[in-house]
Amino acid sequence: MLAEAETARRRTPEPGAVRVLLLPHRSEAVDRSPAVVWFAPGRPAMTEALNGHVHEAQVEAAIVLGLARWGHAASPPPAPGWYARRHAMGLALHDPTGLPFAGGLIEVPVGWTTTALVSGVIAAYGVPAGSLPPTGDGRRIAQLMSAARRLGLIAAGRVPLRW
């Protein structure tokens, strides 16, 4: 019983923690996507540029490090050096230096992992355009990602999945 409680405690994200969301294989957010993972910050660091555009600081850092701003393109370009890695309790996105850029707790289905290993991953980091629903509402999550992409709040790239 205590072991189950400890496991549940570890799976409950801390307030402000990064949420890791898996999008269904076919979604309106991505055309013909192999496997999509979205790392969404719990406490985004929003800034306003001199031109009045609003940005999230870590999205901008990801772009500087090699991810692309994922706007209207059906699929983001490859992100050399970046990779997603599975760990015991979820997924992490690693930057080209090998350091974890973002990560969080999520139960990863076998089907998603198989698709990711075969076809690669579209790894996205960014701020949702609205309140995220509980994990499992793939359609709503895809809608929020589409809206965030239109606002320029998502950095993404095609990356491999590593163990």
Which pLDDT score, from 0 to 100, does residue 9 have? 35
Which pLDDT score, from 0 to 100, does residue 124 have? 94
Rounded Cα gap, residues 101 and 133, in angstroms: 23
Which pLDDT score, from 0 to 100, does residue 17 have? 62
Which pLDDT score, from 0 to 100, does residue 94 have? 96
Which pLDDT score, from 0 to 100, does residue 16 have? 46
Which pLDDT score, from 0 to 100, does residue 68 have? 96
Residues of the chain predicted below pLDDT 50 = 1-16, 27-32
pTM of the model: 0.80
Which pLDDT score, from 0 to 100, does residue 119 have? 85
Which pLDDT score, from 0 to 100, does residue 50 have? 84
Rounded Cα gap, residues 27 and 79, in angstroms: 22
